[in-house]
Amino acid sequence: AAEMAGMAGFDWLLFDLEHGTSEYSDLLHQLQAVASCPVSSIVRVPEIDAAVFKRVLDLGPDGLMVPNVRNADEAAECLRLARIPPLGVRGAAQSTRASGYGAGYSTYLSEVNRSLTFVAQIESADGVENADGIAAVNGVDVLFVGPTDLSVDLRTEADRPRGAFRDAVQRVSDAARKHNKAAGVLVRDIEQAADYLELGYTFIAMGSDRGLIASGMRRNATALRDLTTGGKPSTTAAAQ
């Protein structure tokens, strides 16, 4: 799936260790699978944890996405844990994939703090309230809205950005733009993508491998049932 996604024409891919099913060994093979593709790799970690950051970054992704960043202090702490000295506290090792298993260690040390893309997820009312401060943190590249969690925290619907939810995501986009950062979001379809593009979102992820497989299977099953009933959906097909 990673290799097919890497060849599909996307600019970047999200490898999800928060809600996904992959282990670290799976992530290694996924990153290897897309290494020859013209695509950037962003890994979403499950939590703010120094050991997790180190283990993921040693595998050599292009960027790190951290869920539910609530304020500027949390964003700064994430960057401290993700960066090697003198800008942070992450330990460095010569034998990791990130440093070319030692062959590119010196270059890695000199460039990794600058080259790593850092994505802070805004998924709470606190995150929205503090979006300006988060965006102002040096090293934060993207404010990325998680629509489902944000809508749950705000007690709103997230299918389309309307009403109070629209006001919230517009506030995030405005904060990103003010500090010359990108605003990002996960959408389900092209209509949602168009809505967010209009609101200033340019770092957009659409769909997932699991979602594409599930929806494709349902479409095929329904189409075959419709075919056998002369174009009239059966009770079973309609229930799907």
29 is catalytic: no
Of 117, 163, 122, 161, residue with least CA distance to 140: 117
CA distance 221 to 217: 6
CA distance 64 to 10: 17
Of 145, 119, 138, residue with least CA distance to 200: 145
13 has which bridge partners?
41
CA distance 32 to 37: 10
Q: Where do runs of H (alpha helix) occur along the chain? A: 2-7, 24-34, 50-57, 72-82, 105-115, 125-129, 131-136, 147-154, 163-178, 190-198, 209-228, 235-239
Q: Which of 1, 4, 8, 19 is catalytic?
A: 19
User: Looking at the annotation, which residues are catalytic?
Assistant: 19
